Amino acid sequence: GAASIPEPQRAAWQKHTVKSFEDQDGFEREVVRHVETTLARSLFNCDEKAAYAATSLAFRDRLITDWNKTQQQQTYSDAKRVYYLSLEFLMGRALDNAMLNVGLKDTAKAGLADLGFRIEDIITQENDAALGNGGLGRLAACFLDSLASLNYPAWGYGLRYRYGIFKQEIIDGYQVEVPDYWLDFNPWEFPRHDVTVDIQFYGNVRKSTDANGKNVSVWEGGEVVQAVAYDVPIPGYATPTTNNLRLWSSKASGGEFDFQKFNNGDYESSVADQQRAETISAVLYPNDNLERGKELRLKQQYFWVAASLYDIVRRFKKSRRGWSEFPEQVAIQLNDTHPTLAIVELQRILVDVEGLEWDQAWTIVTNTFGYTNHTVLPEALEKWPVGLLQNLLPRHLQIIFDINLFFLQQVEKKFPEDRDMLRRVSIVEESQPKMIRMAYLAIVGSHKVNGVAELHSDLIQTTIFKDFVAIYGPDKFTNVTNGVTPRRWLHQANPRLSELIASKCGGNGFLTDLTNLNKLEQFLDDKDFRKEWAEIKYANKVRLAKHIKSTLGVTVNPAALFDIQVKRIHEYKRQQMNIFGVIHRYLTLKKMSPEERKKQLPRVSIFGGKAAPGYWMAKQIIHLINSVGSVVNNDADIGDLLKVIFLEDYNVSKAEIICPASDISEHISTAGTEASGTSNMKFVLNGGLIIGTCDGANIEITRETGENNIFLFGNLSEDVEDLRHAHTYGSHAIDSDLDIVFQEIEKGTFGTPHDFGALISAVRQHGDYYLVSDDFHSYIETHRLVDESYRNQDEWVSKCITAVARMGFFSSDRCINEYAESIWNVEPLPIKE
């Protein structure tokens, strides 16, 4: 263990223990100290980057004190810990969040002003930590915030990618990807060069007998890569609890170079080895909801899982408890199937390294893990070719085969003679080549499996995992509806609304118990309150309009209805339907007389989101949106009545500007395809309404906020199968309004028609898998209702306030408490000052 200072010397330590600043004067002193000493600069040489560096170092110092205290008390108390394993943590910026969580943002604002800076200019210097694709990665970040804010002893484990999700540029209407090198200055991470783990790959397995004559497997040979820990403090809101996010970075083992090769003059090969090792944590895979079976991806998964488990087991062993107590000390949550090898790795450690019997080890393993599913899309379900595993992780493949064997024996007992059942549920898919089905392995190796919204949890139990419900019974499966952290997504993103709410709800208590929002309903008829509410929304739209002007040069009218769809671009999310709807609106306006046009409600249609670099259809959608924008935005007949905006490089920090600025946001996935959605929650929380399908969490948002306060449309998930069948086997007449839109595109109104041919033929010729045509009419009709409703501003504002008042359920705090209670069996551990 680490060395500790002997008792007689501790008084000296305590006398000098670091005290962080408490007021403006203290803050300024720390900033100047960091500028002059840490950065070795001066007041003659301090730009905004330096001021950001010094400010974040000042706050970092503050966090460290609480962080150390938290880690000490969590260790000392011996409480059960949660480990959240996620290949993605979409954290965004840390400084603003840290200032608000310790309650010193106003202090910093005044201090920075005194030193000659505007706080917004300083906050925006920070690079986003963009270690994720979309909802799944951002959910992990919200969960860390809630775990700390609720005082749960919890660690996140992930990969320290050198490059996060690519930056998106739009050039001539097309997406261009630019690498995201974000680490040039990152004050929020602490390299722990003393916390390393050697990770083995390849090699082979030798059967042998140990001293007691027991059969054992020895995994030997192959190559070794070193994992180095980087720790990131995660401050809770208004609590000293500061948890840890541990990110692993890969490095060649044996130091900078392989000395032997180096000394032999084999420089090239020694540098190549080093680079190959560092490649493992080099880049985040940019696919959302698509699995592509690349060896490097599998290496990333095992590297991260093996390092994390070694670390977790090492920590457990310090408690000197028996192995059977492992699940009472450790809960591990798998964020999707990406960390499923953790199940196999723990079994390997317990059996091969610690010498436990298979069954005893397996009981420990299954009681330790929980698995969260985030999708039912078949193309997103992870499968790995047996050959790839055989080569990279030979011992793990054997263990998987054994897990499968025992599992199938159990199934066989319960369903004798049901050969087809065995084939269906086997972890090993008997295809050519054979594949390991990671979701099945995750189910078999966990004690709980959850979906992320009610409909989604029902769907997994009745479709993709139906057989497993029959095998294990329904209690193994549960729902935990997603949530978002109100600290970042209300308090930080929308400070004026947060302040107004606080003034009506008796202070900031709603930020830690979001159900307190319900007090707002009492003020529904309060004139001044409503006026301020509307003014705040308007100011947030002005802010977004400025961003649009400065980034795209397009002027939009903040008084227009802002209609926003921002999320990863995917056919199932149906941005194509949205832009077809925009074209329909444009054509309708064009047909009108100038007098008639004057009566129309002005609209700004805003899109944003990245396409996976290899997802050609998604890139076509981006191109169509931009092409429509350049025609519509320059049409003198149309003017302010319609603007079409594609915001470049949608990310967390842009979402913080966008979410507070919507009148309506679009969550229009084909029913049954969007597991939950979480931006729907962020937009409503910020006083915008939703147009959406009966999908994911939209359904629960409707139940909570009332069906008069949401615009639902489209076919239901139970009808999707039949509709698809009818497209393929019946005659498929497409919607007449949609047909008019297609004809206009084909006329060349928005540029070379050929460019958009695939988007049209997906609907006309290829079965319209996402039901764009089936839903188009009700989509257009519902947009008409939106316009109508918006014209009555009194009614509109009432809907918005009512919806916000009823959003309490969608806090990630509620969600984390549900996980803690029904899956992890952990209790909060408040940290003593």
Residues annotated as part of the active site: 374, 567-568, 573, 678, 682
Number of residues that bind ligand F55 (CB under 6 A): 20
Q: In the complex with ligand F55, which residue's Cβ is closer, 289 or 702?
A: 289
Distance of closest approach, residue 139 Cβ to ligand F55, in angstroms: 4
Q: In the complex with ligand F55, which residue's Cβ is closer, 111 or 696?
A: 696
Residue of 380, 464, 469, 617 that binds ligand F55 (CB under 6 A)? 380
Q: In the complex with ligand F55, which residue's Cβ is closer, 187 or 696?
A: 696
Q: Is 812 in the site for ligand F55 (CB under 6 A)?
A: no
Residue of 696, 720, 807, 831 that binds ligand F55 (CB under 6 A)? 696
Distance of closest approach, residue 452 Cβ to ligand F55, in angstroms: 4
- Three state DSSP letters for 64-104: HHHHHHHHHHHHHHCCCEEEEECCCEEEECCHHHHHHHCCC
Tell how strand 223-235 and strand 190-201 pair up: antiparallel
DSSP state of 417: T
Distances (CA, A) of 166 to 163, 209, 250, 283: 7, 50, 20, 9
Q: In the complex with ligand F55, which residue's Cβ is closer, 531 or 703?
A: 703
Residue of 56, 97, 125, 289 that binds ligand F55 (CB under 6 A)? 289
Q: In the complex with ligand F55, which residue's Cβ is closer, 81 or 374?
A: 374
Residue of 151, 270, 287, 627 that binds ligand F55 (CB under 6 A)? 287
Q: Which stretch binds ligand F55 (CB under 6 A): 134-142, 235-243, 544-552, 748-756?
A: 134-142
Residue span 291-310 as binding mask against ligand F55, x where in contact by CB under 6 A, dash where not: x-------------------
CB-based contacts of 294, cutoff 8 Å, min separation 6 = 285
- Tell which residue, 231, 286, 344, has the closest CA to residue 87: 286
Amino acid identity, residue 221? Answer: G
Residue of 91, 123, 136, 421 that binds ligand F55 (CB under 6 A)? 136
Take residue 153 and report the two structure tokens written for it: 């002893």
Q: Are 326 and 291 in contact (CB under 8 A)?
A: no
Take residue 31 and report the two structure tokens written for it: 């900033």
Q: In the complex with ligand F55, which residue's Cβ is closer, 41 or 297?
A: 297
Q: Is 675 in the site for ligand F55 (CB under 6 A)?
A: yes
Amino acid identity, residue 757? Answer: G
Q: Footprint of ligand F55 on residues 431-490 (CB under 6 A)?
A: 452, 482
Q: In the complex with ligand F55, which residue's Cβ is closer, 464 or 470?
A: 464
Q: Which stretch binds ligand F55 (CB under 6 A): 3-11, 627-635, 670-678, 801-809?
A: 670-678
Q: Is 714 in the site for ligand F55 (CB under 6 A)?
A: no
Distance of closest approach, residue 290 Cβ to ligand F55, in angstroms: 6
Distance of closest approach, residue 377 Cβ to ligand F55, in angstroms: 8
Distance of closest approach, residue 588 Cβ to ligand F55, in angstroms: 32
Backbone angles phi, psi at 5, to 5 degrees: -75, 135
- Tell which residue, 134, 102, 126, 129, has the closest CA to residue 54: 126
Distance of closest approach, residue 261 Cβ to ligand F55, in angstroms: 35
Angle between helices 341-348 and 295-318 (to 10 degrees): 50
Rounded CA separation 134/302 (Å): 22
Residue of 92, 111, 134, 394 that binds ligand F55 (CB under 6 A)? 134
Q: Are 667 and 782 in contact (CB under 8 A)?
A: no
Q: Is 135 in the site for ligand F55 (CB under 6 A)?
A: yes
- 10 Å CB burial of residue 252 (0-12, 13-18, 19+) is buried
Q: In the complex with ligand F55, which residue's Cβ is closer, 449 or 536?
A: 449
Q: In the complex with ligand F55, which residue's Cβ is closer, 289 or 665?
A: 289
- Tell which residue, 205, 203, 238, has the closest CA to residue 223: 203
Residue of 233, 608, 677, 688 that binds ligand F55 (CB under 6 A)? 677
Q: In the complex with ligand F55, which residue's Cβ is closer, 165 or 632?
A: 165
Q: Which stretch binds ligand F55 (CB under 6 A): 120-128, 415-423, 669-677, 767-775?
A: 669-677
Q: Which stretch binds ligand F55 (CB under 6 A): 101-109, 131-139, 578-586, 726-734?
A: 131-139
Backbone angles phi, psi at 484, to 5 degrees: -130, 155
Q: Which stretch binds ligand F55 (CB under 6 A): 233-241, 283-291, 352-360, 796-804?
A: 283-291
Counting Cα atoms < 13 Å in the Cβ hemisphere of 662 gives 30
Rounded CA separation 568/325 (Å): 42
Rounded CA separation 333/77 (Å): 22
The alpha-carbon radius of gyration of the chain (Å, integer) is: 28
Rounded CA separation 272/556 (Å): 52
* Residue that the structure tokens 């969590």 belong to: 74
Q: Footprint of ligand F55 on residues 358-377 (CB under 6 A)?
A: 374-375
* Residue that the structure tokens 């996620």 belong to: 86
Q: Is 214 helix (H, G, I), strand (E, B) or coil?
A: coil
Rounded CA separation 670/665 (Å): 16
Residue of 189, 288, 737, 813 that binds ligand F55 (CB under 6 A)? 288
Q: Is 139 in the site for ligand F55 (CB under 6 A)?
A: yes
Q: In the complex with ligand F55, which residue's Cβ is closer, 247 or 697?
A: 697
Q: Are 391 and 202 in contact (CB under 8 A)?
A: yes
- Tell which residue, 44, 133, 62, has the closest CA to residue 103: 62
Cis preceding linkage at 433, omega within 30 = yes
Q: Is 678 in the site for ligand F55 (CB under 6 A)?
A: yes
Take residue 544 and report the two structure tokens written for it: 């977004």
Rounded CA separation 66/832 (Å): 10
Distance of closest approach, residue 677 Cβ to ligand F55, in angstroms: 5
Distance of closest approach, residue 136 Cβ to ligand F55, in angstroms: 3
Distance of closest approach, residue 420 Cβ to ligand F55, in angstroms: 29
Q: Which stretch binds ligand F55 (CB under 6 A): 259-267, 580-588, 672-680, 721-729?
A: 672-680
Distance of closest approach, residue 218 Cβ to ligand F55, in angstroms: 33
Q: Is 86 in the site for ligand F55 (CB under 6 A)?
A: no
Beta strand ranges found along 424-545 (DSSP E): 428-429, 435-437, 448-451, 477-479
Distance of closest approach, residue 134 Cβ to ligand F55, in angstroms: 4
Q: Which residues bind ligand F55 (CB under 6 A)?
A: 133-136, 139, 287-289, 291, 374-375, 380, 452, 482, 674-678, 696
